[in-house]
Structure 1
Amino acid sequence: MRQIILDTETTGLSPRAGNRILEIGCVEMLNRQLTGNNLHMYINPERDSEEGALNVHGLTTEFLSDKPKFAEISAEFLDYVRGAQIIIHNAPFDVGFLDAELDRLGLPPFVEHVDEVIDSLQMAKEIHPGRRNSLDALCDRYGISNAHRTLHGGLLDAVLLAEVYLALTRGQNSLTMDLGGDQDGDDGQPLELAPLAPVIVLAAEGNDLVEHEALLDGLDKDAKGTCLWRVVPVEEAPAPAA
């Protein structure tokens, strides 16, 4: 499955007020694995940012003045996202701006170019009802470092959201195979399953251990105590020989 985690930065809060997109960041995942095939575009919005928005993203009119306009990058952008499952935090906001930009060019709405749009904010609200579910709050909850995020940025936020989405949707598949119904072959004899391949165990080390401890710290914080993963059962000592 091809998934694109997408984030935009804009000149203000409402496309109806004439605000425009000035940055797009996209991160690609194939079968839940980051590919590195990312897309990052600065866009000349053809207007100034509102003061509140400028304080959020820090992208000045002067910096954006020589960047391509949305019409110039629209084909490349749509080719990149076409047919993918799109993941956006607070999707109605970004999709509303994308629809407005596409409408200016006489193009169909964004959802008609992609497979579907998933709102990770709505997903987080269902998993953590009654709690703060901003991107920063979710990074803190799942032990994802965002210390380098002093300003919002399309690509940076998309990278963080990719990690948050993987944490939100983390699950464990069954280690057994359910054949369903009778487990006999055509000749009425029981089916014989091929022997399982040897299990290769790789011990964690280095950065893996650091990231694991950070995740456990986050679980401890959510549990307001010690999570089960840190409760190691005490093995009984062998009985002394007679």
Structure 2
Amino acid sequence: MAKAVVPETARRRRRPTRSGTVLSEEIIVRTALRVLREHGSTGLTARRLGAALGADPSTLYRYFAGMDDLTRAIGDELMGQALAGWEATGDWRADLRALGLAVHASYLAHPQAAVLTASRVTGRPREIAVDETILGILRGAGLPDPAAVRVYHAFIDQSLAFAALDAGSLALTDEARTADERMWESTYARLPAESHPNIAATAHLLARRMPHSAYPAALEMLLEHTAAQLARAGAGSG
């Protein structure tokens, strides 16, 4: 059974750690991000995090019900960082574009954490705020609720899926990532036109594009789809 989480008011009265730090959820989450950066998505353990905090590992359970609860808090932190750097303009297309890019960038800033959390639903306040914002943009633009939910679903899943994919590449060693990127020139560009006419015809374009994220292009496709949905709903293309 998961241990009960101590109320925030009780936590504030705890003594400082060995390093003199008074713990909080925010400090633990930010330290967890550092541990993930240093040890990878499989390297986050209560013991390792406790050592980084200068606290007994059991102290973590005063703030989180378990490591899975901490994982959700990390995902919520990434969502919060995305929303903190975003401002509404009133233009639905510009606002969705900027928010999608902000979410993607927030996760890529912490690739190991992104690999761990991109597939999770946290149910925490900042994730909820992002979801409320996206739905508000879509409904405010004039999409009927069923269409707004369909676009919201595609938008958030697309953002997180590309974040996980691109973060996975960033989490590789420099050597492995470079080897993957060179494959487009070392292998694909050398395939004969007789057996692979389509790859041979586009090899120079593939080599230029494939090492980069496809998320911006995919996001624009989704925005075009949304504009078409608005046109069919009689709300204009925004």
> Shorter-chain-normalised TM-score: which range?
under 0.3
TM-score, with structure 1 as normaliser: 0.23
Which is higher, the Rg of structure 1 or of structure 2? 1
